[in-house]
Amino acid sequence: MVHLVKVRIARAWMETPDIRVLELAPQEAVALPMVSAGSHIDVHMPNGLVRQYSICNGPGESGFYRIAVKLEARSRGGSRSMHQDLEPGDALSISQPRNHFALSEIAGEHLLVAGGIGITPILAMARALAERGSPFRLIYFVRGPEHVVFNDALSDGRLAKHLVLHTGLSADQTAMELTRDIVSSGDNSHLYVCGPAAFMEAALTIAVAAGWAPERLHREYFSALERLTKPGMMRFCGHGEAFGF
């Protein structure tokens, strides 16, 4: 039997024109299960749909789970409901957190690459690595400045010095920047990538061509609409246009 956790929406706000952030707190006076960077939950919505979302909490943030939901033009009811039907105080049921996108414990350096809403698990990873003092680089691609998610967190000095932000690049320009970042990484680096499927496939293809071993490559697919027939563990929790973020 699947054990669900009862939560309520404690806070909600629009982070960008099409991304809504929600903070979920327990309905009862019990602690939420601990999470590690890269974790996600299943959200059971009142309309009967179940969707998966990354938990964006940073180290020391407890008592709630923060998630970000992009409103999809082709929504089948999930993102639309999360944007239009739910308000602070409303009740939801969620799964226990799971993590299929965890940080490597043996990497010498971590190369974190995000496209659009794919920043959600990547941000949690960056904050965890900054807290540990581990070496990492954070590369973030978005359509334009108004689409940067969690700008306040990214502007924090502990993350800002590791961040390279690319806005409005073409597909060719994006591939060129990905190649530069991946090829320049050391042999003990691990790559973590989350974003639209074509964006992720480009990054992974570049890494494989550069000789990166499979165990150094970590990916988080984030849309059932973008499912690709790739081996290994995958998760789907959103949608983005190819290279359009």
Mean pLDDT of the chain: 90
CA-CA distances (angstroms) from residue 196 to 36, 71, 156, 223? 23, 14, 26, 8
Least confident window among 104-113, 126-135, 204-213, 232-241:
232-241
**CATH number for position 17:** 2.40.30.10
Q: Write out the DSSP string of 49-110.
A: -EEEEE----TT--SSEEEEEEPPTT--SHHHHHHHT--TT-EEEEPPPB-SSPPPSS-SEE
Report the pLDDT averaged over residues 78-94. 95
Say yes or no to pLDDT of 45 above 80: yes
- pLDDT for the residue 2: 72
Same domain as 139, residue 42: no
Same domain as 11, residue 88: yes
Least confident window among 72-81, 114-123, 233-242:
233-242
Same domain as 223, residue 114: yes
Same domain as 199, residue 150: yes
Say yes or no to pLDDT of 184 above 80: yes
CA 133 to chain CA centroid, nearest Å:
21
Tell me the range of 51-65, 69-83, 231-245 where mean pLDDT is highest: 51-65
Domain that holds residue 28: 4-95
Output the six-digit token pair for 197: 């499927």
Q: What is the pTM of this model?
A: 0.89
For tokens 């690709």, what's the residue?
228
**CATH number for position 116:** 3.40.50.80
Q: What is the tally of structural domains in the chain? A: 2
